[in-house]
Amino acid sequence: MSDQPVAVLVPGRIHPRILERLGQTFEVVPVPMGPVTEIGADVRARIKGVAISGALDNGWIDTLPNLEIVSNFGVGYDGVDTKKAVEHGIIVTHTPDVLNDEVADTTIALLLNTVRQFPRAENYLREGRWKKDGPFPLTPLSLKGRKVGILGLGRIGMEIAKRLEPFKVEIGYHTRSRREGLDYTYYSSLKEMAEAVDTLISVVPGTAATHKIFTSEIFSALGPNGVFINVGRGTSVDEDALITALKNNTIAAAGLDVFYDEPNVPDGFLDLPNASLLPHVASASVPTRNAMADLVVDNLIGWFREKKVITPVPETPVKG
C-alpha cells in the first residue's frame, strides 16, 4: 500500500468488529446510510473501498472517482447494484459459507416453532396460564410425515436439507438448474413443487427473478395443511397475499425471518396466531457475525495488499 492511507467509506451502521479492524489498517470514513452526503474532495479521492451492511446508494459509485471495491456484510448482496459496479470496474465481495450452519439451524428452529407453536407455548407459561387455565392446547400441526420442498438448494439450502434428513420428512427442491447426484426430488417449477409438498422453505436470493414469486396462486397450490418458511429474502413474497392466505386458512401457518421492507413488518402479520415471526436473526450469533465481519475486512485487506479477494460475487469475479 502507498504512504497515503487508503480510505474506506462506511455508510450507516455496521458490525463494530469491522470498524475496529478497518481502523487498524485504513482511514475509516463513516457517513449516514442513504443518499450521498457532502465530503471533501481530498477525502473523496482517497476513498477506494466501501464496507456496507444494507443498501449502498448508487450515488456513491457515481461520485467516488477512485472506488475499487465494495465489501458487503452478508451473503445476500441485493443492496448493492452489481450491474453498476461492473460498469465502473468495481469489485463486489460478500460473506458466503461462514453463516451456512447458523442460518440452517435457525431455519429448522423456525420450522419447529411454526408447526409446534413453541413461542406461544412459552408465552402461555410466562403469563401464568398453565397454572390458571391448564395445559397448553395441542398443536393441530406436526412435522411428522411432512413433504418439504426447498426453493434454493445452494450453500444454505443444502445445509437445511441435510438437517431435515433425520426428521424423516420427504425432501424435494426447485432451482433453475437441477443438481446432479442427489436423492432429493427435483421439481421443475415452484408451482409444481407447491402442488406436490405441504411445506415450502424459501432460501433464494433477492433478485428480479425472485421478486414476489410467492403469490396467492402458490399459497393456494400449497393448500390448507401448508406451512411456508422464509429465510431468504422478504422481497420474494407478496405479503398481502400471504396475510390473506394465513387469515383465510388457505395455508395453515408461516414462519418468517425476513420481510419485504425491513424493519417495517406489516401489522397484518402481528395479530396472526398462525405466523411465527423473527426479526432477521438467522445468522445473528456472536461467533457467526464475527466470522462475517472478518471476511468483510479480509476481502478489503486482500485487495489493497495483493489485489486478491477471498469471496467475490459471481458478477465481479477476481482470482482469490
Catalytic residues: 233, 262, 280
Q: Count other Cβ atoms within 10 Å, centred on residue 15.
A: 18
The site for ligand NAP, by CB under 6 A, has a size of 31
Is position 99 an interface residue for ligand 8YV (rule: CB under 6 A)? yes
Ranked by CB distance to ligand NAP, the top (closest) residue is 154
Q: Which of 283, 299, 311, 316 binds ligand NAP (CB under 6 A)?
A: 283
53 binds, among ligand NAP, ligand 8YV, none (CB under 5 to 8 A by kind): ligand 8YV
Please, are residues 301 and 76 in contact by the beta-carbon 8 Å criterion? no
User: What would the x/- binding string for ligand NAP be over residues 191 to 210, using CB under 6 A?
Assistant: ------------xxxxx-xx
CB of 257 to ligand NAP, least distance (A): 4
CB of 203 to ligand NAP, least distance (A): 5
Q: Count other Cβ atoms within 10 Å, centred on residue 239.
A: 19
Ranked by CB distance to ligand 8YV, the top (closest) residue is 74
Q: Which stretch binds ligand 8YV (CB under 6 A): 69-77, 84-92, 188-196, 244-252?
A: 69-77
Sign of CA dihedral 55, 57, 61, 65: negative
Rounded distance, CA 293 to CA 287, Å? 10
The grid coordinates of residue 220 equal 393456494
Shortest CA distance to 297 belongs to which of 72, 58, 12? 72
| 179-218 per-residue burial string, b: 16 or more CB within 10 A, e: under 16 | eeeeebeebeebeebbebbbbbbbbbbbeeebeebbbeeb
Is position 76 an interface residue for ligand 8YV (rule: CB under 6 A)? yes
Q: How many CA atoms lie within 13 A of 13 on its CB side?
A: 0
DSSP count for the chain of H helices, then E strands: 13, 12
CB nearer to ligand 8YV: give 106 or 113. Answer: 106
Is position 49 an interface residue for ligand NAP (rule: CB under 6 A)? no
CB of 25 to ligand NAP, least distance (A): 27
CB nearer to ligand NAP: give 60 or 187. Answer: 187
Is position 235 an interface residue for ligand NAP (rule: CB under 6 A)? no
Is position 2 an interface residue for ligand NAP (rule: CB under 6 A)? no
Is position 9 an interface residue for ligand NAP (rule: CB under 6 A)? no
Is position 175 an interface residue for ligand NAP (rule: CB under 6 A)? yes
The beta-strand segments (E) located in the chain are 7-11, 27-31, 47-52, 69-72, 91-93, 147-151, 170-174, 185-186, 199-202, 227-230, 253-256, 275-277
Binding site for ligand NAP (CB under 6 A): 75-76, 96, 99, 103, 151-157, 174-177, 203-207, 209-210, 231-233, 257-258, 280, 282-283
